[in-house]
Structure 1
Amino acid sequence: MDHLDNKLISALRHNARASLSDLAILLGVSRTTVRGRIERLRDSGDIVGFTVVLKGDAHRDAVRGLMMIGIEGRGTERITRQLNGLPEVRTIHSTNGRWDLIVELGTDTLEHLDAVLGRIRKFDGVSISETNLLLATRKAA
C-alpha cells in the first residue's frame, strides 16, 4: 500500500458511501484510479468488506470501561472463557507487561458496570485489576 491507498482508506473510513467522483476530487485523481485502487485493495484482501453502523449500535453502551486484569498461575484460558460468557464484555485482549488481559466492558448504568466488575473480580485466579472509564471516543476503527 502506498500513500494514496492510505488516503483512500482513510476517506472510506470516514464515509464508505462516498461516490467515486467525490473520492476522486478529495484525492486529486481520476474516478478510474479510485475504482482501480478499491478493486485492487479488495482483491488483495486489504479491504475485506464494508459495513453499516447503526445509531443504536454506536450508542448502545451508556457506560464503557477498560478493565486490566492480572491473573495468577495459568488461569488465563479459563478466565477468558468465563469473560466470553458475560454479555457486557465487548472485547478481550491478551497483553504483555503488567496486565495479562485488557477487557472492554459496556453497560447501561454505572451500577451495572460495578456489578459486572464485582463478578469478574471474584473469578478464581484474578489476582488484581484496575478499571478506567471511557469518557469519549475520538476515533474508532
Structure 2
Amino acid sequence: MDELDRTILDILIDDARISLKELSQKVGLSSPSVSERLRRLEEKKIIRSFTVDIDPVALGYGLTAIVRIRPLPGMLHIVERLLQETPEITECDKVTGDDCFIGKLQFRSMEQLDSILDRIAEKAETNTSIVKSSPVKRRLPPLS
C-alpha cells in the first residue's frame, strides 16, 4: 500500500459514498486508475465493504451496555450461537481471561436488557456495565 492508496482510504473513510469521478479528481488520477486501485485494495482485503453508519439512538436504541459473558461448563458453542442470534448484540469478541466473550448491546429499555440477559443467564454468567458516554468512537488504527 503506497501513499496514494492511503489517500484514497482517507477520503473513503470520510465519505464512502463519494463518486468515482470525484474521488479520481481529489487524488489526481483517472477514473480507471482509481477503480483499479480500489479493486486491488478489495482483493487484498484492506477494503472489506462499503457501509452505512447508522445512529442507534435515531432508531430508538438509546441505551448501550458492555456485557462480559462466561459460559457455564459445556455451553461455549451454545452461548456463541445464542450471541450470534441476538440482534441487539451489535458487536462481540471472543477473548482470553476470565470471560469468554465481551459483547456490546444496544437496547431501548432496562426491561429489554433484562429480557436479553435472562436468555443468556440460562447458559452463562454475565457481568454488565451500562455505557455513559463514548469518548473514543469506533475508529481505524493508523493507516501508516
Match of 2:29 in 1: 30
State which drifts further: 74-83 or 36-45: 36-45
* 2:73 aligned partner, one-letter code: G
**How many aligned positions are there?**
137
Q: CA separation of 1:65/1:78 partners in 2, compared to 1, >3 Å: closer, same or farther?
A: same
Q: Are the equivalent residues in 1 in contact too, given 2:92–2:103 (CA < 8 A)? A: yes
Q: How does 1:38-49 map to 2 (within 5 A)?
A: 38-49=38-49
Aligned mate of 1:135, from 133, 136, 139:
133
Structure 2: any 5+ residue segments left out of the alignment?
none
Runs of 4+ in 1 over 6 A off after TM superposition: none
Cα offset, 1:58, TM superposition: 7.2
Q: CA separation of 1:103/1:139 partners in 2, compared to 1, >3 Å: closer, same or farther?
A: closer
Q: When the two structures are superposed, what TM-score results if normalisation uses the length of structure 2?
A: 0.69
Q: Structure 2 CA distance, aligned partners of 1:98 and 1:43? A: 37
Q: How does 1:58-137 map to 2 (within 5 A)?
A: 59-60=58-59, 61-120=61-120, 122-124=121-123, 126-133=124-131, 135-136=133-134
Identity %: 23
Q: Are the equivalent residues in 2 in contact too, given 1:20–1:31 (CA < 8 A)? A: no
Q: When the two structures are superposed, what TM-score results if normalisation uses the length of structure 1?
A: 0.70
Cα offset, 1:12, TM superposition: 0.8
Q: CA separation of 1:97/1:104 partners in 2, compared to 1, >3 Å: closer, same or farther?
A: same
Task: Please report the RMSD computed on the Cα atoms of aligned residues, expressed in angstroms.
Answer: 3.2
- Alignment partner of 2:97: what SS? coil
